[in-house]
Structure 1
């Protein structure tokens, strides 16, 4: 029964994540006003807004005007459902589970906003920094979380490294490279997982980004100077770090 509740909860919060992904870049209010069709502007009735199920029944279209609803909506809700369920399976009913639910839901929102709009909203990163540091004062949480000293150093290191890269790149090339949103996201990761996470995630996210753009460079649809959203690569690398932290830290230390 508990697992069924978690599955439903994950899908519902995935639906909320979709609202944030749609409204935050446009500075919309995410907690007021019913969802509506982007084309015909008709408000969506509750039975057409059931996570995952409604999308499948309506075949990804608006009931009123047959406007094609982005497949991303279904993907976000499924990913949220899976992450909520997996986290609950690993950590049970605990504060660690609650913290990871908040983090992964925030990661989902950041991932898809940055992927489309090339921005990482401060309204998400700043609270995550604060929460990441505050939770470090509780010694009874998962071994994945650092103590408050490690957390504070991690947050400063995460922001400092990326800010330094941005600054020196701008001095040398006379143009912007990465954005400060990426620096803030690395600060979030440092506060949540400590300084030891930063070198691994900087390296791995850069490697994943490079591998992903090589085909575009080969077919010349992108150039080395082309803008790419780096947030999704940071998030992918962070998830890998979380799953393999013990192996990584044993190797490093």
Structure 2
């Protein structure tokens, strides 16, 4: 029952994440406005807004206008549910689990907003920065991957200026923007959460993942080296790889 509850809670937060993904870029309130169909603008009844189940029961169509519901809604809820389940499975009912759950919700929202709109809203990155630094005073760095406040502060500042420097140099050489400051703020947030030592690995992992995914498009010429890509999702995937291989990285460095 514990893991079933975690899965259900995750799907509920996934539903809320969908609200954020759709409303934040449009500056629509995520708290006051009720859920509505983006096609016919009809309010969605509570029984048509049950995470995961409603998508299946409605056969991915709006009850009022029969417009097809984007599969992304279901995917976000499923990913969020799995995130909660995995976190509770490995870390149980701990303070670290709560922190990772909060981080996972932010990750899902940022991932899909950047993937769709090529932006990372400041309200998300600034909130992550603040939370990342505050939690460095509340966790024991000897027990987990979270750093102390000194490493956290250095990581946050370094993360921002690494991307800022890349943007500056690329613009000087090519006279175009190579990356956005949203990526700089996201890497800064990751630095606040996991310290400066995590940054090289996150950048390496994210760059490799981005390159591997981009190679087929470059080969068939559907994209070129000037094609705009959202780098935020790759930074998130790079961070997940860092967390997954954290033990091996520590052993390699020690």
Cα deviation, 1:124-167, whole Å, max 9, x if unaligned, reads 11011011011111243751101111111111111111110011
Unaligned runs of 5+ in 2: none
Cα deviation, 1:39-63, whole Å, max 9, x if unaligned, reads 1111000000000000001111101
User: How many Å separate the matches in 2 of 1:95 and 1:24?
Assistant: 28
Note the 1:101-140 alignment, pairs <5 A.
101-140=101-140
1:196 is paired with a residue whose SS is helix
| Cα pair 1:196 1:249 within 8 Å, conserved | no
User: How many Å separate the matches in 2 of 1:168 and 1:140?
Assistant: 38
* 2:230 matched residue in structure 1: 229
Q: Alpha-carbon deviation of 1:220?
A: 1.0
Q: Alpha-carbon deviation of 1:7?
A: 1.7
What TM-score results when the alignment is normalised by the length of structure 1?
Answer: 0.97
Give the paired residue count. 253
Q: Alpha-carbon deviation of 1:204?
A: 1.2
| Cα pair 1:158 1:186 within 8 Å, conserved | yes
Note the 1:184-223 alignment, pairs <5 A.
184-223=185-224
User: How many Å separate the matches in 1 of 2:24 and 2:111?
Assistant: 13
What TM-score results when the alignment is normalised by the length of structure 2?
Answer: 0.97
List structure 1 runs of 4+ shifted beyond 4 angstroms. none
User: How many Å separate the matches in 1 of 2:253 and 2:70?
Assistant: 43
Is 1:52 the counterpart of 2:55 in the alignment?
no
Provide the aligned C-alpha RMSD in A.
Answer: 1.1
User: How many Å separate the matches in 1 of 2:210 and 2:139?
Assistant: 35
Unaligned runs of 5+ in 1: none
Using the TM superposition, name which of 139-148 and 183-192 deviates more. Answer: 139-148
User: How many Å separate the matches in 1 of 2:204 and 2:238?
Assistant: 9
User: How many Å separate the matches in 1 of 2:6 and 2:31?
Assistant: 22
Cα deviation, 1:179-198, whole Å, max 9, x if unaligned, reads 00001110011111111110
User: How many Å separate the matches in 2 of 1:214 and 1:181?
Assistant: 24
Q: Alpha-carbon deviation of 1:5?
A: 2.2
User: How many Å separate the matches in 2 of 1:120 and 1:70?
Assistant: 21
| Cα pair 2:205 2:242 within 8 Å, conserved | no
Is 1:20 the counterpart of 2:51 in the alignment?
no
User: How many Å separate the matches in 1 of 2:66 and 2:188?
Assistant: 43
User: How many Å separate the matches in 2 of 1:104 and 1:31?
Assistant: 20
